[in-house]
């Protein structure tokens, strides 16, 4: 009798609990251009209350929270809400969660993710001689190789451009992921893992301390279809203005 009475009490309490935070369906994600997505979510239950906040949070982390990127929305149509988010880069994997609240609490949805694909090789805005680097107007042919072992910091794949045999400076390029078709942005040492399309480049000149290439420049990677890639940089600089160009082809 005691067991039956306890079960009855629990069931009765659950039946009386009519109010709770909102319940959300998993967000849906649709590509909306090269760097944008449309994210939508449905409110499966309002929890017996009034929905006062809805929105989305997103991040490169597997479980995004309000501490990451977020957008709050004003409009709910037929129990659903959506928005278009822009500014993403090729090869980025982004995780999304919807959120909502009512007078009884706040709730996240489950996590949805999307990886932005590279649809084709980038347009390289300069024409340079393959196998050659030009540093402050002086051209030379570096020894080129690629390997995960050449990466530094948070990089997972590196390319070495050695000027040792030409008595010139050497360069190390560190990518967060193995480079593929795309345009990569030169970043600081600490930001290598902030985007799949970031690259950190370091200049090594004999006994002098390594120098980081100025951030913001572009590196173009083109897959050639024969297992090789061509890496081109048209207008990089170091020490706040010394120009650097180059074009090399290698097997990754």
- The pLDDT confidence band at residue 2, using thresholds 50, 70 and 90, is very low
For the cut 70, the answer to whether the pLDDT of residue 115 exceeds it is yes
- Report which of residues 31 and 60 the model is more confident about: 60
Q: Share the mean pLDDT of the chain.
A: 88
The pLDDT tens digits for 121-158 are: 888 999 999 999 999 999 999 999 999 988 888 889 99
The pLDDT tens digits for 52-70 are: 999 999 999 999 999 999 9
SS3 letters across the chain = CHHHHHHHHHHHHHHHCCCCCCEECCCEEEECCCCCEEEEEEEEECCCCCCCEEEEEEECCCCCCCCCEEEEECCCECCEEEEEECCCCCCCEEEEEEEEEECCEEEEEEEEEEECCCCCCCCCCCCCCCCEEEECCEEECCEEEEEHHHCCCCCCEEEEEECHHHCCCEEEEEECCCCCCEEEEECCHHHHHHCCCEEEEEEECCCCCCEEECCCCEEEEEECCCCEEEEEEEEEEECCCEEEEEEEEEEC
Integer Cα distance of 230 and 139 in angstroms:
18
Write down the pLDDT at residue 245.
Answer: 97
Domain(s) of CATH 2.60.40.10: residues in the chain: 19-115
Integer Cα distance of 34 and 183 in angstroms:
13
Homologous superfamily (CATH) for 19-115: Immunoglobulins (2.60.40.10)
* Residue 179 and residue 189 in contact, taking contact as beta carbons nearer than 8 Å: no
On whether the pTM is more than 0.85, the answer is no
For the cut 60, the answer to whether the pLDDT of residue 50 exceeds it is yes
- The pLDDT confidence band at residue 17, using thresholds 50, 70 and 90, is low
């Amino acid at each position: 009798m005691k067991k039956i009475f306890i079960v009855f009490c629990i069931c009765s309490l659950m039946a009386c609990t009519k109010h709770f935070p909102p319940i959300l369906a998993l967000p849906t994600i649709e590509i909306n251009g090269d760097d944008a997505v449309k994210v939508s979510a449905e409110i499966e239950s309002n929890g017996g209350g009034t929905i006062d906040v809805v929105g989305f949070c997103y991040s490169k982390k597997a479980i995004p929270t309000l501490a990451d990127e977020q957008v709050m929305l004003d409009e709910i149509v037929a129990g659903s809400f959506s928005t278009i988010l822009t500014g993403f880069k090729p090869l980025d994997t982004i995780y999304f969660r919807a959120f909502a609240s009512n007078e009884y609490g706040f709730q996240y949805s489950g996590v949805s993710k999307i990886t932005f694909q590279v649809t084709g090789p980038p347009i390289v805005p300069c024409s340079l001689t393959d196998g050659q680097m030009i540093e402050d107007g002086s051209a030379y042919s570096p020894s080129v190789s690629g390997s995960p072992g050449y990466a530094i910091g948070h990089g997972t794949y590196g390319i070495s451009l050695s000027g040792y045999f030409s008595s010139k400076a050497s360069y190390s390029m560190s990518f967060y992921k193995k480079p593929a078709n795309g345009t990569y942005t030169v970043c600081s040492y600490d930001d290598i893992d902030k985007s799949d399309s970031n690259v950190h480049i370091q200049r090594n000149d004999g006994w002098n301390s390594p120098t980081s290439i100025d951030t913001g420049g572009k590196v173009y990677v083109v897959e050639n279809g024969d297992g090789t890639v061509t890496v081109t940089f048209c207008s990089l600089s170091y020490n706040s203005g010394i120009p650097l160009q180059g074009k090399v082809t290698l097997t990754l």
